[in-house]
Amino acid sequence: NTKITQSPRYLILGRANKSLECEQHLGHNAMYWYKQSAEKPPELMFLYNLKQLIRNETVPSRFIPECPDSSKLLLHISAVDPEDSAVYFCASSWTPNSDYTFGSGTRLLVI
C-alpha cells in the first residue's frame, strides 16, 4: 500500500522513547491514529482534520500526536507500558465521515 506509508513496520521497545511516522499521498484532509490489539477492532486514538486535532479519546498522556503538515502524522511514545503492545494504524480520508484508507501498520512490542 503506497498510498499511506508507515514507519517503522516493527518496533521493539523497553522503556525508551520513539516516534511512529505516517505519510499519505492522497491529498486527504483528515488523518487518524488507531490502536488495534489482538483479536480486537481498531480503536481511535487521535483524529486530525485540516491539521487541527479535533478528537482525542482517553489515551494515556505518554502518547502525543503531531501533525507537521496536512500529509504527515507522527505519534510520539514515551515510557511505554506492556499494555501498549499492539498494531498502530494510520488512516486518512477526505472528511471524517467519508471512507478511510489505512496504512499497513506498525507492530509495537513492549518488552
Q: Nearer Cβ to another protein, position 78 or 100?
A: 100
Q: Nearer Cβ to another protein, position 78 or 101?
A: 101
Rounded CA gap, 96 and 8, in Å? 25
Q: Nearer Cβ to another protein, position 78 or 107?
A: 107
Residue ranges binding another protein (CB under 8 A)? 1, 4, 30, 32, 40-42, 44, 47, 55, 89, 91, 95-105
Decide: 51 and 28 in contact? Cβ < 8 Å: no
